[in-house]
Structure 1
Amino acid sequence: MPSAAERTRTLVQSTCSGALVLPGMDGARPDQLVPEARTVGADGEVFLLFPADAPPVRAATHAQDDELPAVLELTDVAPVSAPDRIRGRAWVSGWLTCAPGMAEPGRTMLRLEVGEVYVDDLWGDGSVDPDDFAAARPDPLADYETELLQHLAAAHGEQVRGLSTLLGRRAGEGAAAVRRVVPLALDRFGLRVRCVDAAGRRFDARFDFPEPVRDVHGLRRAMHTLFEAAQS
């Protein structure tokens, strides 16, 4: 399974929604606290791009040498229609400063020095050491996950539902008892689906690949093997 550090790093560098929480920002509109871009530096710091007149930029500028505490809140929502679509949340806490010279005119880059990290997702919840966060790498499928899950749901719905044949007793009376199977999450280790049975009960199932995949080409082979296993 992906480590908590890898999962958090993936969320930070993904397109999931994220917003800054800062002291004294009660009057700011929610959209003013959402960075236009997020990146992670070589030392694990998080760089956040904002318009030069955004409230977080003004707060960081006025703080000058004082430490400005801030929390980057991330919310991960499944890109397909599914019951309980929120897949996870993460909080990256630290101290915010301006990073001059790193943005084009009209924009300002802010630097969040990471002090604490916490993740709560489909795998579980727990703290992440900042050094582990800095050393981790995002999942190689993260940039393609949204498109891949939507493609599986739209073009391979029957094959995805057919995976219920691999669930054994967990599927109750067998594959027929599972009315709906939605591809929920995808990473280099496997595919997670959300199942709904005839009684409306929901449960998740995880299908691990024979070995971790490195790219989309490896994923195609792994998915082909998975679908073949379901049909045999």
Structure 2
Amino acid sequence: MARRPPTPCPGERARTIAALGPATLLLPAEDARQPDKVAPLLHHVHADGVVTALLPDDHELVAAAREQPAAMAEIVDLAPVPLREPVRGLLWITGWLRAVPAAAAREIAVRLAEIRADPRLLDLGHGAAMVRLRPASLVLADGEGTHPVRPDDFLAAEPDPFSAQEAGWLRHLELSHTDVVGMLARHLPEPLRGGHIRPLGLDRYGLRLRVEALDADHDVRLAFSHPIGTQRELAVELRRLVGCPFLAAARQAP
């Protein structure tokens, strides 16, 4: 049996999605007050899984949050290049939603501004109100399967070290280095090499490709020789995957 390539643990993958993906909030479907998904004006997922969100202060969900109902945040991991099926993964955080009083909301906004100085935070108290979702459970669904993620495991993990740069790198690979993507095809199973090969994802464990074939889409992970953490290591591993003749010299360089 072929061994599956190593991947980041579910907690790390969940933290990566939580750090970057767009989010929606919703109450249970049986709650007639707010059956549809709501895209907040701004959201942030904290290390403990708490979701802080800003909504228009006259929104129905703000009124509903005063009763602290059960609710869910859905965070989507979208591929940075245009694909037929762009969703790479989903993170669902389920818990209890509550409206945050104005004074406490201002204190949270100040702390949040130290992490991410987003001008939308200035709308708090000026047309926007704050709600928070405190998690009871987290579930991750991506190309590796569906996994429950314990809040403690989510807190202990970190986002992938390349998550902030991944989108730009993959777009550059797609637009400017189609020759490199073509050379990576040698790692694919023979039946997939005739499909349209696209860069799908990159993390410290490897590079993911999407093969858009006539019959279906196929995702393939190309593993690095070891988990990496720097751009220098990434350059060496990409040269190795491509089959670059200067790989040995790159490894010996100071």
Q: Same fold (TM over 0.5)?
A: yes
- Which is strand-richer, 1 or 2? 1
Q: Secondary structure at the match of 2:64?
A: helix
* Distance in 1 (alpha carbons) for counterparts of 2:231 and 2:61: 37
Unaligned runs of 5+ in 1: none
Q: Secondary structure at the match of 1:13?
A: helix
Question: Number of residues paired by the alignment?
Answer: 217
Q: Secondary structure at the match of 1:143?
A: helix
1:148 and 2:169 correspond:
yes
Residue 197 of structure 2 is aligned with which of 147, 172, 181? 181
Residue 182 of structure 2 is aligned with which of 153, 157, 161? 161
Give yes or no for contact 1:165–1:230 (8 Å, CA) kept in 2: no
Name the amino acid aligned to 2:98. T
1:88 is displaced (CA, Å) by 1.5
1:117 and 2:138 correspond:
yes
1:39 and 2:58 correspond:
no
Counterpart residue number, 2:240: 225
Name the amino acid aligned to 2:141. D
Residue 57 of structure 2 is aligned with which of 52, 59, 63? 52
Quote the RMSD (CA, aligned, Å). 2.6
* Distance in 1 (alpha carbons) for counterparts of 2:74 and 2:47: 21
1:217 is displaced (CA, Å) by 4.3
Counterpart residue number, 2:117: none
* Distance in 1 (alpha carbons) for counterparts of 2:72 and 2:49: 15
Name the amino acid aligned to 2:34. M
* Distance in 2 (alpha carbons) for counterparts of 1:158 and 1:200: 24
Residues 117/21 of structure 1: CA separation in 2 closer, same or farther (3 Å cut):
same
Under a length normalisation based on structure 1, what TM-score does the superposition of the two structures give? 0.82
* Distance in 2 (alpha carbons) for counterparts of 1:119 and 1:193: 20
Counterpart residue number, 2:221: 206
* Distance in 2 (alpha carbons) for counterparts of 1:136 and 1:79: 23
Residues 211/37 of structure 1: CA separation in 2 closer, same or farther (3 Å cut):
farther
1:18 and 2:20 correspond:
no
* Distance in 1 (alpha carbons) for counterparts of 2:9 and 2:183: 29
Give yes or no for contact 2:48–2:154 (8 Å, CA) kept in 1: no
Identity of aligned residues (%): 32
Residue 126 of structure 1 is aligned with which of 116, 132, 147? 147
1:125 is displaced (CA, Å) by 0.8
Unaligned runs of 5+ in 2: 1-6, 110-121, 248-254
Give yes or no for contact 2:49–2:93 (8 Å, CA) kept in 1: no
1:158 is displaced (CA, Å) by 1.5
* Distance in 2 (alpha carbons) for counterparts of 1:58 and 1:25: 10
* Distance in 1 (alpha carbons) for counterparts of 2:147 and 2:178: 34
Q: Secondary structure at the match of 2:168?
A: helix
Counterpart residue number, 1:98: 99
1:187 is displaced (CA, Å) by 1.2
1:171 and 2:190 correspond:
yes
Give yes or no for contact 2:23–2:43 (8 Å, CA) kept in 1: no
1:184 is displaced (CA, Å) by 0.7
* Distance in 1 (alpha carbons) for counterparts of 2:18 and 2:216: 32
The farther-off stretch of 127-136 and 210-219 is: 210-219
* Distance in 1 (alpha carbons) for counterparts of 2:155 and 2:80: 27
Name the amino acid aligned to 1:190. G
Q: Secondary structure at the match of 1:144?
A: helix
* Distance in 2 (alpha carbons) for counterparts of 1:48 and 1:215: 32
Counterpart residue number, 1:2: 8
Runs of 4+ off more than 6 Å: none
